[in-house]
Amino acid sequence: MAEIAGYADVLAGRTIATVGFGGGTPSEVPAADIAAVLVALRARAPFAQQAEVTLEANPGTLTAEHLATLRAAGVTRLSLGAQSFDANELRFLDRIHSPEATATALRLARAAGFESLNLDLIYGLPGQTLAAWEASLRAAIALEPDHISCYCLTVEEGTPLARRVRTGAVTPIDSDLAADMYDRAAELLAAAGFEQYELSNWARPGHESRHNRVYWTWGEYLGIGAGAHGFVGGERTENIAAPREYIEAAKRGVRGSAVAKAYTPEPVMMIDDYVSSSLRLTAGFALDAFEREFGARLEAMAPGWLSDCEAAGWLERAAGRLRLTERGRQLHSEVVVRLMGALGAV
């Protein structure tokens, strides 16, 4: 709450459209504390009508009472970290919940009156087969959520999984198989009535994540909490990550007291961030909006990049917008790498 008080001048005169409680497992925080954060925000700025308030949750941490308190506090959307509906895969991922716990959590959330429910799934696990991935997808669809996110497992340095890969104890999945899994997800979810609106996200009409869309469309947002990132007035901020150190700093209640790093990205990085984020959306972005933002046409700032990617079948223009093709959606990283090369050549 002290950190929120420090941003009183930023919040003054604004309307809060979305709030996202994420990172770690916020569902393990007492529901009363989540409610207190929302009260503190409302004291500084009004919430928009139909504001979206999302909380990420581990299915193994929810009870009917907890969910009822969260809903009464104003949480409207729940994102459940299902990850898989295969018990062996969940053990590999060190998850504490079972497939049955996910189904129970979703049922309890519906009963508590949540307006929108998401299930997170992970594919590309070592040893995972296409059939196993399809089974998890079908199990998720059968629960009738409003939104499904599908993320490919990434091996991050410094993690136990990275050490197991390095020692040969675990063999990463073949990239072609991972691509097949992505394609299969797109097929099954489309057949079940979900629309893909972002590289990793599918939703029933009206249930797209409005909070995450802020990130993808160059919107402003405050980062509040340990390790949180923010973007306001062209400045990016990164909060102190260590919880105890963060708490001591935030207690001062002064704007930026909990910020570990604040910077305005260099123009090339701003362009890269804008394009790479916007291209995550299947609708892409308006080329004239880019020109208004940066004062020049994209083709002029990144010579050859657009035409080369179009020729490769990765990008396409439609009604004044630039977007990834279906083929290009699996090559987003390559498209961005080539953009940086072109920008560096200017």
Residues 65 and 48 in one domain: yes
Residues 242 and 272 in one domain: no
Mean pLDDT over residues 210-236, rounded? 95
Per-residue model confidence (pLDDT) at position 150: 98
The domain that holds 148 is classified in CATH as 3.20.20.70
The domain that holds 328 is classified in CATH as 1.10.10.920
Domain count, the chain: 3
Confidence of residue 322 (pLDDT cuts 50, 70, 90): very high
Residues 47 and 181 in one domain: yes
Residues 193 and 145 in one domain: yes
Residue ranges in the chain assigned as alpha helix (H): 2-6, 8-11, 31-44, 64-73, 87-92, 99-112, 130-142, 160-167, 175-191, 210-216, 243-250, 267-278, 287-294, 298-301, 305-311, 332-344
Residues 251 and 281 in one domain: no
Residues 7 and 139 in one domain: yes
Residues 237 and 206 in one domain: no
Domain holding 138, by residue range, is: 2-214
As a whole number, the mean pLDDT across the chain is 94
| CA dist list (Å): 231 to 136, 215, 224, 254 | 36, 9, 11, 18
Residues 17 and 166 in one domain: yes
Per-residue model confidence (pLDDT) at position 253: 85
Per-residue model confidence (pLDDT) at position 162: 76
Domain end (from 146, 179, 214): 214
Residues 224 and 187 in one domain: no
Confidence of residue 31 (pLDDT cuts 50, 70, 90): very high
Confidence of residue 25 (pLDDT cuts 50, 70, 90): confident
Mean pLDDT over residues 146-165, rounded? 85
Mean pLDDT over residues 229-247, rounded? 94
Say if residue 345's pLDDT is above 60: no
Say if residue 346's pLDDT is above 50: no
Taken as a whole, the chain contains a residue count of 346
Residues 76 and 187 in one domain: yes
Confidence of residue 329 (pLDDT cuts 50, 70, 90): very high
Mean pLDDT over residues 8-12, rounded? 93
Residues 43 and 67 in one domain: yes
Per-residue model confidence (pLDDT) at position 317: 96
Say if residue 151's pLDDT is above 50: yes
Residues 86 and 208 in one domain: yes
The β-bridge partners of 150 are: 121
